[in-house]
Chains A and B, each alone.
Chain A
C-alpha cells in the first residue's frame, strides 16, 4: 500500500531550485535510504515531505495522517548542552496541537520505547551528559513516541564511531523488520546504506535514481 506519493515536486529556496520534478511512491514497510552529496537536496526533500518547507510545484498525496510521521532531525539541530532530562525529551514526541499533558498511558509508552531501544538506564540522565550515540538513540526514541508507522531520519549516524553506528543501524533495522515501521533515512554512509536499506533514492544527478538496492549497485558498477 502506498503511504506517500510524490508527484513532480519542486522544492527550493527563493530562486534556487534544489529538488526538481521528483516523483516516487513510498510503500508500507519500505526502508528507503536517500543518498547524495552535500547540497543535493536530501534534507530539503524531507522538509518538504514533513511540511516544513512549502512545495514550489507538484503535490504530495498522503495515505496516512501527518501525525503518524515521526521525524528525527540531525543531531546538530539540537543544542547538546540544553538542560533537559532524557525522559522529558522522549515524552515531548507524543505532543500534538491538541494535547498539552502526558497521561499515565503516554508515560508507560515512553518506558516501553526506552526498553525497546535498550536505553532504560538513561531515563533520568541529562541530555548534556550523554555520548553522541546515546543522544541519537534518545532522538530516535522521541520520533517513535510520535508514531510507530513511518519514521524519517536525517543522517542518524552522523559523528558516530563505527561501533555506535553499527549499534544504531541494528536498532533501526529491527524497527523496520520486526516492528514493521516504514523508514526513510538520509545517509552519507553509502556502504551501510547498501547494507541496511531495501531501496535507494539517489540525488547524485538531476535524473534521480529510485529503485532497489541491488539495482542501484548494478547501476553504480556500470558507471
Chain B
C-alpha cells in the first residue's frame, strides 16, 4: 500500500496514468471495428511507418509528433486505397509499407547517429510523457467518444457488412477515412506509451478478450473499453512494483486477460 501511495506521489506517474487510461480507452474503441473487419495488422503497419517518420523528424531536427501524424495519415489512406484495389491484397500492402518504413527509419538513424530518442519510440517511454501529450490524448479521446456516440450504429453497419452499408446509402468512404485518421493519430500518441513495436497490441487485445465472452457488438465495444483501462492500470502499477518495462508489462497483462477469458469461455461452453 505504501508503495502505491509513493508511486502516485510523483507527478510523472499521475501524468502517465491519465494519458495511459485515455490512450488505452481510445485504442480499444478504434480497435473494435479494425479487429472485427480483420484489419488488425493496420495498426502494426502504421506504427512502423510512425517509427520511420519519427526518425526522419529527429534527423531533420523537427518536432517528431507533428511530422509523424501527417505521414502516418497519408500511409493509412494509401493502405485503405490498396485494400480496395483487388490487385494487391491488404496484408501484402501493410507488410511492404511497414518493412520499408522500418528500414528507412533505421537507415536514417544510423546515418545521422540520432539514437537516444529513437530507442524510446521503439519501446515506449510513458514515464516521460509531458502535459502537452496528456492534453492531446484528451482531445483525441473526446473526438473518438463523440464519434462513437453519434455514429455507433453506422460503425456497426460498416463493420458487419460494408457492401450492404454502401447499398443503403451510408457514406462508407468517409467513415473509413475518419477511422484511418483516428487510428493514425492514436498510434503516434500511443507510441510513447508502449512503443512502436507494441502499440498495435493495445488496439487488438481488448476486442479479442471481450469477444470471448460477449456476443453483441455493443457489449464487445463496452467490455473491450473497460478491459483495456483495467489492463493498463494493472500493468502500470505492476511495472512500478516489479521494476519491469512499462510497455511490456501492460502487453503481458493484456495477454494474461485474453488467456484467462478464453479459458473461462471454454469452461462455460462445457
Residues on A lying within 8 angstroms of B by beta carbon are 50-52, 66-67, 69, 71, 73, 77-79, 82-85, 88-89, 91-93, 95-97, 100-102, 126, 128-129, 142, 146
Contacts and interface: CB of A to CB of B under 8 A. Distances in A.
Q: Which of B151, B160, B168 counts the most chain A CB atoms within 10 A? A: B168
Nearest to A129: B215
A100 B151 contact: yes
Interface stretch (B17-25, B40-48, B216-224): B216-224
B168 A146 contact: yes
A92 B156 contact: yes
A52 to B, nearest CB: 6
Contacts of B216: 83-85, 88, 126
Contacts of A50: 167
Nearest to A102: B153
A100 B215 contact: no
B107 interface: no
Given A50-B167, A95-B153, A73 B215 contact: no
Contacts of A101: 153
A73 B153 contact: no
Nearest to A146: B168
Contacts of A129: 215
A73 B165 CA distance: 11
Given A73-B161, A82-B36, A84-B160, A96 B220 contact: no
Given A71-B168, A92-B156, A93-B164, 17 more contacts: A52-B163, A52-B167, A71-B164, A73-B163, A78-B160, A79-B36, A82-B160, A83-B219, A83-B220, A84-B216, A85-B217, A93-B168, A95-B157, A95-B168, A126-B215, A128-B215, A146-B168
Contacts, number: 83
Contact of A83 (B161, B171, B215): B215
B113 interface: no
B215 A85 contact: yes
Interface string B102-141: 0000000000000000000000000000000000000000
A159 to B, nearest CB: 17
Tell me the dominant secondary structure on chain A's binding face: mixed
Contact of B153 (A78, A92, A146): A92
Contacts of B217: 82-85, 88
Contact of B164 (A51, A88, A96, A142): A142
A85 B220 CA distance: 11
Nearest to A93: B168
Contacts of A102: 153
B31 to A, nearest CB: 13
A51 B153 contact: no
B154 interface: yes
Contact of B167 (A51, A84, A100): A51
A102 B152 CA distance: 11
B209 to A, nearest CB: 12
A90 B27 CA distance: 28
Nearest to B174: A97
15 contacts: A51-B167, A71-B168, A77-B164, A78-B161, A79-B38, A82-B36, A83-B217, A85-B215, A85-B217, A95-B165, A95-B170, A97-B170, A97-B171, A100-B151, A129-B215
A93 B157 CA distance: 8
Contacts of A91: 153
Given A52-B166, A67-B168, A95 B154 contact: yes
